A and B are shown apart, each in its own frame.
Chain A
Amino acid sequence: MSRISFQVNDRKISAPEGMSLLGACLNADIHIPHLCYMEGMTEPPASCRLCFVEIEGRREPVTACTLPVRSDLKVRTDTPAVRRLQRTALRLLLSVHHVDCKHCIANYKCELQRTARFLGIGLKPKHLDHYSKEPEVDDTHPHLIHRPNRCVLCGRCIHICESRHGRAYIAMARRGFDTVLTFYGSTDAIDLPAPDCTACIDVCPVGALESKHGE
């Protein structure tokens, strides 16, 4: 496959044709905050609204995960407009997040912590109402413990489950503030393909999924 080179923040980087701009930047060690994107996704959901970049010639910032690389791209990943969008998106995520890092399994390896540090904002956003979901813990799954108030609804677990097992045994239910992960139809161990699969736990950017059987 042919490689394409283009410009990012006054640097020339190259990437294979067809790759997303986000993937290319990450490979070149240019960090762009992101939660829902995973390497190898053919149709990134672009739902976390964090990977915005500015492209010369385009008025609005665009999500880097949905933009295939082109040789005429001139990209800036650190403009004030981009940072403002990212901070707002992260603050909104944190306003529905139960921030209790000390007791969270993802402490120190959490994407939210990392992104907040990168963007220079606190974990408890001011001026935003906090919204919590009920119940705090969903333990209907035979192997998983799910905490909706830690979940950022990125959909990585659903994506990996579908690619591993041909169909997703996790889905999103309801909508808006009430959107939650659901294990509907997966609450009986015999309906599940692999009891020891921990792919969803491994890809979770936060600590929303945990194994019932320990590490």
Chain B
Amino acid sequence: MDSEAGREEAALLNRLRTRLADFEKDRANLLSILRMIQETFSYIPEEAIYMAADHLDLAPSEVYGVATFYNQFKFNPPGKYPIKVCLGTACHVKGGDIILENFERKLDIREGETTPDRDFSLERVACVGCCALAPVALVGEAVHGHMAPSKVEGLFTRIQVEKEMAEREKRRHESAR
């Protein structure tokens, strides 16, 4: 795990206990608490489930059960490059599931998961509103239309190149100082 992200998460977890104190100890508050956790971390970390269970005096399994019932809650942190593959009607017809599978193979993760280095996360979405470009994938906010297996390959090359360029830029900046 990226140490910077890890440190940040540890700090957020430390603060979570005080934020939990704002919620009355009533099991009816479970959903609000889960939403607060997801807003804070962008996903539901395991430690947070235990903290919430402890605060409401519920079994962790019950909190986990409620959290997994709702599709809205994620159990993996978003990657630095969150990839969303559209599987709306138009993209579905144009083979969006093949594109999703391409990403899954390339990254060696399943839909809903994050790579161990937390660089990429993969998610399926239902319609991003540009069906004329089907099948569509998003990397962060950037829309990539008319996706094809070769373009999946190309996307990663581009991200790699951009990364190396940023790296060079950073080095040049440092040596100039």
Contact = CB atoms under 8 A, between A and B. Distances in A.
Chain A binding site: helix, strand, loop or mixed by DSSP? loop
Interface of B: 49-50, 53, 58-62, 64-65, 68-69
A185 B68 contact: no
Contact of A169 (B49, B50, B61): B61
A211 interface: no
Contact of B53 (A170, A173, A185): A185
A171 B69 contact: no
A173 B59 contact: no
Given A171-B65, A172-B65, 14 more contacts: A167-B62, A168-B59, A169-B61, A171-B61, A171-B62, A182-B64, A182-B65, A182-B68, A183-B61, A184-B49, A185-B59, A185-B60, A185-B61, A186-B61
B58 A173 contact: no
B69 A168 contact: no
Chain B binding site: helix, strand, loop or mixed by DSSP? helix
Interface of A: 167-175, 182-186
Contacts of A186: 59-61
Given A185-B50, A185-B53, A175 B69 contact: yes
Contacts of B49: 184-185
A11 to B, nearest CB: 42
A168 B58 CA distance: 9
Contact of A174 (B53, B58, B69): B69
Most chain B CB inside 10 Å of its own CB: which residue of A169, A173, A183:
A173
